[in-house]
DNA sequence: GTCAATACTTTGTCCGGACATTATTACTTA
DNA sequence: TAAGTAATAATGTCCGGACAAAGTATTGAC
């Protein structure tokens, strides 16, 4: 996830690890049967009901870091579900990096809040989420025919009509980024007024476009005269650049974005999980 | 995943999507029974055998973008496995973003190579993987007691002894990055000679440390005098900065790194998958 | 010929059980 | 007391089956 202002304290997580000598964890016996309820008549999958309730317990602190979830078989029994269902629920939490399973040892909570691994979210949503009052100024909103390079990038025929957007995004009145986007005209054709109120991804989603994956490239360069004027940053200041190609579920390119951020006001924060 | 030199062509994927009008895909009937073999006596899990062989077929092009995998039931039958096993195999490919499942429609290949979503890999491995001949110059390799700030970051007591490393990483003889690392002395204490031959993560892995997650923050700044000398970049040039906190499976901090990259020679390339 | 209802295909979810593998714990023995 | 060994606990893998839900293709009516 991306956040405004340089993250000043990345690691403030309180550690209470039991290692070496037998420093026992309080083990405040969190009884799942008291906390989790499943509704068989609900259309939402049972494993999902279980997973989200455990996740909520982790968020609320009822399940602190290091706490053990009961074993899968007992859990299944006390919830009136089968083990595969409970296992699927826990599995989804493992995928999110919230808990760790070790055979023979059980399942433990590792983070009480992993910043969800750099979600496919837009700058607008990110800023709105932390109450940074995002605003947008639309500089260009027009249809252009694809140049050779753009056609290549988006995987369309040369000369195809593309919507070209150029916007400046601000937070609390201060400019944060200059954003350029190219997307097929067939998807959306928003008015500038709409673009000033909502983020592009929000718009695409409301049109039923399902964002599925993206390739990003993050780099840096120094501000030139044009950047300087738009971003209120002196010439020669450090800028972050981000190029992003976004795909829908069918693997078709939905959007190409080329953005520039003020490094003094912005950094990319992301979490990632490893191997096993 | 991070790569040297600015990614010049992020999207060159040939599209052959069947949409709107019925542009049918060749459908070159890839018979799984001919291509996939499972060894029941092998210790490697059956679902994993299946998954990796399908993945190999995608990489090799036998399963091009858009190709449909046979339905799960037939697949299971022809492989002599149960449906849950085959489903688990395909599920792992879905998690990797290689294929997409749609009920009623089947399972299709979406990317023939997703750069695996920014793995927990070190710069050394990344460079070695693309034959960039990484070399390391060790500037500092000593034990220091943790300052207030560092103790806080690593989640250890103030004054704890930490190994401090400062290195310059080059590729093909040209400097790429200046790296600073802090890690508990209990983990490793490599000689400078060893550090010049191998990456830090490689070293940790060989010591049995299982990297599990990391929080990163990517930013930018301009080169100062000291940077200039180490990286052979003029003062005022754009630099990428990356701070990373790495955790092991128990949630304990394994390493804190503060690195600086030459933006002219390096960018962070990463893929991410969204929501559903 | 176009559109709507129907049948079919395929994945999504869920159950119950079985054995293997690995960590931990308790016990026995030197 | 200490170390090795056995018992126990918990997840990992795998099987077989069942029904639901969503998308696709076919058929029928107008």
A65 close to A26: Cβ distance less than 8 angstroms: no
B84 close to B45: Cβ distance less than 8 angstroms: no
Give per-residue pLDDT as tens, A258-270: 999 999 999 888 8
Give per-residue pLDDT as tens, A72-127: 998 998 899 999 999 999 999 888 878 888 888 888 887 655 444 455 667 777 77
How many of the other CB atoms lie within 10 Å of CB of A142?
Answer: 9
CA atoms within 13 A on the CB side of B41: 0
**B9 lies within 8 A of chain A by CB:** yes
CA nearest A98: which of A67, A144, A75?
A67
CA of A68 and C1' of C24: distance in angstroms? 14
- At the top level of CATH, the class of A18-109 is mainly alpha
Say yes or no for a CB contact (<8 Å) between A275 and B155: no
CA nearest B39: which of B77, B81, B75?
B81
Q: Residue B186 is encoded by which pair of tokens?
A: 């209990």
Local structure of residue B198 (DSSP, 8 states):
S
Q: How far apart are CA A154 and CA A146, in angstroms?
A: 9
Q: How far apart are the first and last CA of chain A?
A: 22
CA of B246 and C1' of D28: distance in angstroms? 64
A182 close to A166: Cβ distance less than 8 angstroms: no
Q: Is the CB of B97 under 7 A from strand C?
A: no
**B239 lies within 8 A of chain A by CB:** yes
Instruction: State how beta strands B238-248 and B211-222 pair.
Output: antiparallel
The pLDDT of B115-143, averaged and rounded, is 75
| In chain B, residues 192 through 221 whose Cβ sits under 7 angstroms from any atom of nucleic acid strand C | none
Q: Residue B122 is encoded by which pair of tokens?
A: 């070190």
A123-268, CATH topology level = Chorismate lyase (3.40.1410)
Specify the higher pLDDT residue, B119 or B92.
Answer: B92
Residues 134-153, chain A, touching B (beta carbon < 8 A): 152-153
B28-109, CATH topology level = Arc Repressor Mutant, subunit A (1.10.10)
- Residues in a beta bridge with B4: B266
The minimum CA-CA distance between A142 and chain B, rounded to whole Å, is 23
Task: Tell me the three state secondary structure of residue B212.
Answer: strand
Residue whose pair of structure tokens reads 């020669």 in the numeric block: A236
Q: Which of A116-125, A204-213, A228-237, B90-99 has the highest mean pLDDT?
A: A228-237
Residues 6+ apart with CB under 8 A from A11: B152, B153, B154, B155, B215, B245, B253, B256
CA of A105 and C1' of C29: distance in angstroms? 27
Say yes or no for a CB contact (<8 Å) between B19 and A236: no
Q: Is the CB of A100 under 7 A from strand D?
A: no
Q: Residue A40 is encoded by which pair of tokens?
A: 């068989």
Say yes or no for a CB contact (<8 Å) between A247 and B100: no
Q: Is the pLDDT at A143 greater than 90, yes or no? A: yes
Say yes or no for a CB contact (<8 Å) between B237 and A243: no
Q: Which of A30-34, A99-103, B187-191 has the lowest mean pLDDT?
A: A30-34
The percent of residues in chain A predicted with pLDDT above 70, rounded, is 81
- Full strand arrangement of the beta sheet holding A2-4: A2-4, A266-273, B211-222, B238-248, B253-262, B174-184, B161-171, B134-145
A254 close to A183: Cβ distance less than 8 angstroms: yes
- Cβ-in-10-Å burial (0-12, 13-18, 19+) of A102 comes to exposed
Q: How far apart are CA B111 and CA B58, in angstroms?
A: 8
A100 close to A65: Cβ distance less than 8 angstroms: no
Q: Is the CB of A106 under 7 A from strand D?
A: yes
Residue of B162, B220, B239, B273 for testing the chain A interface, max A β-carbons within 10 Å: B220
**B235 lies within 8 A of chain A by CB:** no
Domain chopping of chain A, boundaries: 18-109, 123-268
CA of B15 and C1' of C1: distance in angstroms? 33
**B219 lies within 8 A of chain A by CB:** yes
- Residues in a beta bridge with A101: A107
Q: Residue A85 is encoded by which pair of tokens?
A: 């269902």
Give per-residue pLDDT as tens, B146-179: 999 898 888 888 888 999 999 999 988 899 999 9
Torsional sign, CA A139, A144, A150, A156: positive
């Amino acid at each position: 996830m991306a956040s405004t202002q340089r993250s000043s304290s990345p690691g403030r997580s309180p550690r209470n690890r039991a290692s070496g000598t037998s420093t026992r964890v309080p083990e405040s016996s969190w009884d799942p049967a008291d906390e989790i309820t499943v509704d068989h008549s609900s259309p939402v999958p049972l494993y999902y009901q279980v997973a989200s309730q455990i996740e909520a317990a982790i968020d609320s602190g009822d399940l602190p870091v290091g706490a053990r979830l009961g074993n899968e078989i007992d859990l299944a029994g006390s919830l009136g579900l089968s083990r595969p269902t409970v296992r699927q629920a826990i599995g989804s939490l493992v995928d999110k990096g919230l808990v760790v399973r070790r055979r023979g040892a059980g399942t433990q909570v590792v983070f009480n809040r992993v910043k969800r691994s750099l979600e496919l979210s837009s700058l607008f949503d990110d800023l709105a989420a932390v109450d940074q009052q995002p605003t947008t100024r639309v500089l260009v909103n027009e249809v252009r025919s694809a140049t050779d390079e753009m056609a290549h990038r988006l995987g369309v025929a040369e000369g195809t009509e593309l919507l070209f957007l150029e916007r400046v995004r601000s937070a609390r009145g201060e400019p944060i980024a200059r954003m350029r986007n190219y997307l097929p005209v067939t998807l959306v054709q928003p008015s500038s007024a709409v673009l000033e109120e909502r983020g592009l991804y929000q718009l695409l989603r409301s049109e039923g476009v399902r964002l599925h994956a993206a390739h990003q490239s993050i780099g840096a360069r120094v501000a030139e005269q044009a950047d300087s004027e738009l971003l209120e940053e002196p010439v020669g200041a450090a800028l972050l650049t981000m190029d992003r190609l976004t795909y829908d579920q069918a693997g078709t390119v939905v959007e190409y974005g080329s953005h520039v951020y003020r490094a003094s006001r912005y950094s990319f924060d992301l979490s990632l999980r490893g191997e096993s």
